[in-house]
Structure 1
Amino acid sequence: MIESLPLLGAGGHPAHGLEFTALEIRTTGLRPGHVVELAAVRVHADGSVAGELATLVDPGPGVPPGPALVHGITRGELDGAPSFGAVLGSLLDFCRGSVVVAHDLPFVAAFLNHEAARLGTGVPVLPGVGTLEAARTAVPLPNYRLATVAHALGVPGRPGLSALSGARAVAQLVVALFGRHGVTFAAPPALPALPRFATGPLRPREEPEPGEPGWMAEAAERVVTGAGGDAYLDLLAEVVADQHLAPGEVAALAALAAEAGWPADRVRSTHLRFVTALREIAERDGVVTAAEARELRQVATALGVADAGDLRPAAGGKPTRVLVLGTTAAADRLRARVLAEGVQLAKKLTASVTHLVADPSVPANEPRLTRAAELGAVVLDAGAAPVALGFEPPPARHAAQPATTSKLVGGRVLMGIGLLLMFIVVVAMFGGTPVGAGIFFAVFGVGALLGGWWLAEPASR
């Protein structure tokens, strides 16, 4: 149903004049099964939103909704919602004439293909773009979860439980990637003619605004995953982001892993790797609060790897916490650098921010610059930030070159000789030396003075 388009950096076909439809789904598991929520946000290449679509999807009478700890959807909410077949017409109408976008495009495409195959309905292949793979070419990050990439690229807010919140983030990501990061298509996208199906009423759900992310959610953004990613590890990070992990949630995670074909030892090793990474991140800050230590021990115990979460509170001042202001590719790269260095990256200015970095796109009268100084934060420009934050060593001060030093000494010696000759000439002239001889030696003295000055004062030339 969706085909991933090959992308390039600068030099390919730009997205000017195109529209994108960002898709996000909530599902019954990690492997293709049923979609229980679907959302789409259509945007122009300039970032203006053309429309939104969202609905719960009933996978069938009595079919479990899957991991409520991930998407927050109960079986009761699905009763009375439209089926995927009843939603497909609205989805295709919404995508018509646009390039489809999803963060993890293979995951979304696999589920949609599975649903379409179950219906026995032929659907033309839609051109698609994956923001996860595109982001890999734009900025180096510890991991490429949607929340991490959105934070690095300056997307406000945080994707929540609903598919619509995720689709909104994906829409902003694709605009940033094709805009300021210069991603282009290897070939012009071919937009197929789509069939029309009957449409019916949709059933969107309400979702409260996600709260401010706590330490656990921020630390999860800095956990390094492998080059190929890890779907279960990403899921685990999402689950623990709320700083609470109940036994029922752990059992649900184990069921998801088993359904995806993971043996128990692989699940435990993933838990151990995740908690160990969280502990290392906490220790790297140099400051471990009692709350952080308690949260990590609770999560480690719940996941069955209590030893990996053995962390003692450690006082030591204020951990480095950086807020980067700016809407340029350079600002995005600096945010990504902060995360890659294991440093806390703030979303907004609070008293916990230790450094505020502004790139040239930030106006000089930006109120947060003044407010940051009042709060005691160090205000930096983007160029000086990598050195000031300790990511790069300061530029080496080059010692004077030997040739320059020898010229300086030689010049001063020559000036001394010139002065001595002039003194001897004056004394000799008073002693009756012929004028011709005096002028002859005086010329040598003046030449020595001028030559010595030229060697000893190179900066004046």
Structure 2
Amino acid sequence: MIESLPLRGPGGHPAHGDFTAVDIRTTGLRPGRVVELAAVRVQAGGSFAGELSTLVNPGVPPGPALVHGITRDELADAPSFGEVLGPLLDLCAGSVLVAHDPAVVDAFLSHEIGLLGVRLPPLPGVSTLAAAQSVVRLPNYRPATVAHALGVPARPGQSALSGARAVAQLATALFGRYGLTFAAPPVLPALPRFADGRLLPRAEALPAEPGWMAEAVERITADDAYLDLLAGVVADQHLSPDEVTALAALAREAGLSEAHVRSTHEQLVTALREIAERDGVVTAVEARELRQVATALGVGTAGDLRPAEGGKPTRVLVLGTTVEADRLRARVLAEGVQLAKKLTGSVTHLVADASVPPNEPRLARAAELGVAVLDVGVAPVALGFEPPPVRPVAAAPTSKRLGGRVLMGVGLLVMFVVVVGMFGGTPLAGGIFLGALGVGALLGGWWLAEPAPR
């Protein structure tokens, strides 16, 4: 269903049309069934153009509720995929599809469309995952991590609609801020029309404010599908034995071995512990949350973790919508430092770029809280990510060097005259006097011509 459009930097075909961001929730890790579908259409400049969201009844159990929060009872009255295909295609018509990982979305949607016996022309699509990888270096590229690094306010939660909204904002930020273009002009095919279907959107409570665990998983290097899923689950700061059992069943259905699952659990806990200890301050909250997750996963590497006395971990809030601000947020995450989402008493440094106005209220509030306020240009050094620049030794002015060399030449000439004169019978006293003048000229010229050490 989705045909990937290669991207490039400035110089390609600009994105002037609409994007439709698509996200889904499914029964498992591998292509199975869709249980929720959402799409958000935006113009390239970021203007909202419409959205849809609906639960989808696949006729089979919904899969891991701990991942998507959908129960069997919620799907009882939900429409089938065939009923929601028409509204989805109507919203997508004439636009470029966007998904964080189009290959995954395409696998599930193509499977559903194949079950209906429907044939569709390929729709051009782009990946916010690939786009983010091309412009910013991050420990992982989970949607939540990329959104945080780019300063996107939307937070992908359990619902497909929250994910689609975040992807839509990521697309407009990536294309607008980094000048990304299409390597070839997108071909927007005519789509068949289907009968208007029935939609059943679900209500989703606002996600809780992220705690330490949610921030820590953004700093974990994750290139494994199960590790990525596990990181998303533990981000809510709690993991029950039932959830661990459900995760293990999900991994088995995806063909993962028990050894792989056990190794991934150990990898996650080890990485979380390294993050907790990296700044030299392990808080009571960090120790408690890490021990709880380690116990639930059956990993013992956090049992001896103890809170440190005193101290305050470095916690950075970066304000701004420029490329420089994005790269600093990414650098903070890569360095294992806490990247704050809002200004609180736990923030130690606030960094602002040129897009932040001088009357921004958080600048004044940071000063009241005793938070160090930095410009984005000096922040890497101030935060200890880079050494202070070495000041080059100033060279002596050209005129000064030239004068010194002339004086050295005069000194050499005087010394030559003295030597010749001494052989010609010049009185000793006169020779000594002239020799002293020559030596003085030589030393003075050298001092002028050579820069003094600093």
Q: One-letter code of the match for 2:204?
A: E
| Aligned counterparts of 2:117 and 2:197: Cα–Cα separation in 1 | 19
Structure 2 residue 227 is the aligned partner of structure 1 residue 233? yes
Candidates 162, 165, 170, aligned match of 2:167: 170
* Contact persistence 2:97–2:124 (CA under 8 A): yes
Which residue does 1:245 correspond to in 2? 239
Question: Deviations for 1:201-246, whole angstroms, at most 9, x for unmatched residues?
Answer: 2000000111110000000000012xxx221111101110111100
1:421 aligned partner: none
1:286 partnered with 2:280: yes
Equivalences for 1:316-395 in 2 at 5 Å?
316-395=310-389
Percent identical pairs in the alignment equals: 76
Aligned partner letter, 1:59: P
Residue correspondence of structure 1 range 22-421 to structure 2 within 5 A? 22-60=21-59, 63-225=60-222, 229-308=223-302, 310-399=304-393
Q: CA deviation at 1:285?
A: 2.1
SS of the residue corresponding to residue 358 of structure 2 reads coil
Is 1:11 the equivalent of 2:4?
A: no
The SS at the match of 2:177 is: coil
Structure 2 partner of 1:431: none
Partner letter of residue 261 of structure 1?
Answer: G
Cα distance change, pair 397–408 in 1 and its aligned pair in 2 (3 A):
farther
Distance in 1, matches of 2:91 and 2:304, equals: 51
Structure 1, unaligned runs of 5 or more: 418-440
Inter-CA distance 338–135: structure 2 relative to 1 (3 Å threshold): same
Partner of 1:429: none
SS at match of 1:11: coil
What is the one-letter code of the residue matched to 2:43? H
Letter in 2 for 1:48: S
Give the Cα–Cα distance (whole angstroms) in 2 for the partners of residues 79 and 395 of structure 1.
Answer: 64
The aligned amino acid for 2:6 is P
Decide whether the 8 Å contact of 1:28 with 1:66 is kept in 2.
yes
Q: Is the 8 A contact 2:19 2:97 kept in 1?
A: yes
Displacement of 1:310 in angstroms is 3.8
Task: Give 1:27's aligned amino acid.
Answer: T
Alignment partner, residue 427 of structure 1: none
| Aligned 8 A contact 1:297 1:310 in 2 | no
Contact (CA 8 Å) 1:153, 1:176: kept in 2 or not?
yes
Say which is worse superposed, 264-273 or 150-159, in terms of deviation: 150-159
Q: CA separation of 1:310/1:167 partners in 2, compared to 1, >3 Å: closer, same or farther? A: farther
Q: 1:164 to 1:313 in 2, by over 3 A?
A: same
Shift of 1:306: 1.8
Cross-structure match for 1:430: none
1:181 Cα deviation (Å)?
1.2
Distance in 1 between the 2:351 and 2:21 partners?
Answer: 31
Residue pair 2:396, 2:450 contacting (<8 A) in 1 also? no
SS of aligned partner of 1:21: strand
Q: Is the 8 A contact 2:396 2:451 kept in 1?
A: no
How far off is 1:397 after superposition? 2.9
Q: Residues 66 and 309 of structure 1: is their aligned pair in 2 closer, same or farther, counting only changes over 3 Å?
A: farther
Shift of 1:195: 0.2
Deviations 1:395-426 (A, max 9, x none): 0133466999x959969x98xx9xxxxxxxxx
- Normalised to the residue count of structure 1, the TM-score between the two structures is 0.87
Deviations 1:34-89 (A, max 9, x none): 100000100000001101100000011xx111110011000000011100000001
TM-score under structure 2 normalisation?
0.88
In the alignment, the residues of structure 1 paired with residue 63 and residue 44 of structure 2 have an alpha-carbon distance, to the nearest angstrom, of 35
| CA contact 2:154–2:169 (8 Å) conserved in 1 | no
Report the AA paired with residue 268 of structure 1: R
Report the CA distance between 1:316 and its aligned residue: 4.1
Shift of 1:307: 2.4
Q: Distance in 1 between matches of 2:275 and 2:348?
A: 18
In the alignment, structure 1 residue 21 sits paired with structure 2 residue 15: no
Deviation at 1:456, TM superposition (A): 7.6
| In 2, Cα distance between equivalents of 1:82 and 1:173 | 29
- Pair 1:456–1:29, CA change in 2 (3 A): same
The residue type equivalent to 2:374 in the other structure is: L
Counterpart amino acid of 1:40? A
User: Is contact 1:275-1:309 (8 Å) kept?
Assistant: no
Q: Per-residue deviation at 1:452?
A: 6.8
In structure 2, C-alpha distance between the alignment counterparts of 1:397 and 1:266, rounded to whole Å: 51
